[in-house]
A and B are shown apart, each in its own frame.
Chain A
Amino acid sequence: MTGASSGIGEATARLLAQRGWRCVLLARRADRLRLLAGQLDGEAETCDVGDRDAVAAAAARVLARHPEIHLVVNNAGIPARRTLDEVDLDLVEEVARVNYLGGVWVTRALLPGLQLAAGAGGSHVVNVVSIAGAVAFAPSGAYTAAKHAQLAFSRSLHATLRGSGIDVHTILPGYVQTEGFPQRSLLEHRLLKHIVAQPKDVAEAVVRSVERGRSEVVVPWFPYRPAIVLYGIAPSLVSRLGARVVRTSRAFQAKAAEQPPGDA
């Protein structure tokens, strides 16, 4: 489990541990990871998944302890809440490394363990993507691009490994309220608060996808699954809506900037 120190990763690790899985938790924050590993009777591996060498080293340590890996959950991800004409270019690279390449490296490095377990009853890879991987979301331009790449990775890996005993599952959550991805403004909205899910909803989707062999799960199904279909048919229309969100949020930020501090 990558990105296990908080949010969806933490919730999923807790649920898996409850169901009797032995969890190896990967994340950057060693102290939080050790605390959670202690609670779940799991193991901690401090690792930045955006660092290819660090991933190779962590994976080698995990494989030395556990030659068979039954499940890899690629969940580590960071936000980039700016449009692509403004976002810091270092962040564009970092978000691509963590959200997309990190999953590739982790999966490839643990593949021998997955293959060994596949021969002995089956193994699974779960990629926690995002609805932003299927629908371009302009206010988080670099994030949505990285998630698009990750979605393509997950879907093509599924096709490639079909019949190998390694099942690949794609989870597409919409807005989820987590520490790394706070959704304050949405939760304050009378109607929009209903489209914000909790980490445990996604954790349940992860476990369900593995137990029932579902290749793709959108959480929650409504309104996000219809949005994906609409976007596939009329991408420009959905992009125009995105442009409106950008304009609205810019106007909102400009208004907020005019207000004296402490008045928010």
Chain B
Amino acid sequence: MTDAPTRGRVAVVTGASSGIGEATTRLLAERGWHCVLVARREEVLRSLAAETGGEIEVCDIGDRAAVRRTTSRILARHPSVDLLVNSAGFLAQGTFVDAPLDLVERALAVNYLGGVWTTRGLLDGLREAVRARGRAHVVTIASIGGAIVFSPAAPYSASKHAQVAFSRSLRAALQGTGIEVHTIMPGFVTTPGFPHPKVFATRLGRRFVVGPERVATEVLAAVEHGKPEVVIPWFPYGLGAIAQALAPTLTTRVLRRADYT
């Protein structure tokens, strides 16, 4: 893998200020991509942009008008966008019995709708990249919680289910256009803002938790090798998705016990 084929290519990363978004930005920059960092926290973005030689856009992904303004500014500077990484997202804990309804709405706006708005806002740039270089990519950082129902963080899991369906059906809709869509489904990742249920503090549980750098590596691998979907790590989470399809009620009931307290 050399730097040459990616040098100067434009990547837009949302949720770039921390966690998976930050790790992905660092890795892309190392490989020669020019990154546009999108997130809410200006100072954090500024220092990361200075380190990685990228640009920043301060934007709340859960705000449709803000996303529209941001994506038009990006397209004005970069008519061709080679890669979009939809990484902005937050954990909305609680059940559908006790979670505040505002949180339920906010989770849907940030974790699902924000990705739709960003992708649609940059679609012309992605099409331009296809014309210029034959290919463009959209990477959706979903979660295995989008394929397995996780009731201790129910509003999160529901929003991630919508996001997975968005990513998978967008891939099908764009097949043959040169824009490739990749769905990344991490299990538990050690990132700020995402605490783990206590079961992951056990010796066995720790083996199922990965760092954001691992996810970033898989994002690049998915883009480079054209992988439609990646579950990280596949064991045990990939098996969980199959269990959900075969025995949905039982699977959800078992996972209900993995609470955060």
Contacts and interface: CB of A to CB of B under 8 A. Distances in A.
Interface in B142-200: 146-147, 149-151, 154, 157-166, 168-176
A2 interface: no
A83 interface: yes
A13 interface: no
A contact patch SS: helix
B252 interface: yes
A247 B64 CA distance: 29
Contacts, number: 173
B165 A148 contact: yes
Given A153-B96, A160-B97, A138 B104 contact: no
Contacts of A100: 108, 158, 162
A149 B169 contact: no
A144 B169 contact: yes
A89 B252 contact: no
A242 B154 contact: no
Contact of A155 (B162, B164, B229, B252): B252
B246 A144 contact: no
Contact of B113 (A96, A158, A231, A246): A96
A263 interface: no
B117 A89 contact: yes
B96 to A, nearest CB: 5
Nearest to A227: B245
A156 B154 contact: yes
A107 B96 contact: yes
Given A148-B161, A149-B158, A239-B168, A85 B173 contact: yes
A187 interface: no
A85 B169 CA distance: 10
A83 B97 CA distance: 33
Contacts of A151: 149, 161
Contact of B149 (A107, A156, A232): A156
A101 interface: yes
A235 interface: yes
B101 A92 contact: no
B249 interface: yes
B172 A243 contact: yes
A191 interface: no
B253 interface: yes
Q: How many A residues touch the partner, as a band? A: 35 or more
Interface in B243-261: 244-246, 248-249, 252-253, 255-256
A246 B175 contact: yes
B151 A236 contact: no
A243 B168 CA distance: 10
B85 interface: no
A146 B96 contact: no
Which of the listed residues A85, A159, A236, A239 has the most CB atoms from chain B within 10 Å of its own CB?
A: A159
Interface of B: 64, 95-97, 101, 104-105, 108, 112-113, 116-117, 119-120, 123, 146-147, 149-151, 154, 157-166, 168-176, 228-229, 241-242, 244-246, 248-249, 252-253, 255-256
Closest 7 CB pairs of A and B: A232-B245, A138-B172, A83-B173, A156-B151, A243-B172, A148-B165, A138-B169
11 contacts: A85-B174, A101-B104, A136-B172, A138-B173, A144-B165, A148-B164, A156-B150, A156-B256, A229-B245, A235-B147, A246-B173
Given A93-B113, A104-B104, A235-B168, 19 more contacts: A85-B120, A85-B173, A89-B116, A101-B108, A104-B96, A104-B101, A138-B173, A145-B116, A145-B163, A149-B158, A149-B162, A151-B161, A152-B161, A156-B95, A156-B151, A158-B252, A162-B256, A216-B248, A243-B172
Interface of A: 52, 83-86, 89, 92-93, 96, 100-101, 104-105, 107-108, 111, 134, 136-138, 141-142, 144-153, 155-162, 215-216, 228-229, 231-233, 235-236, 239-240, 242-243, 246-247
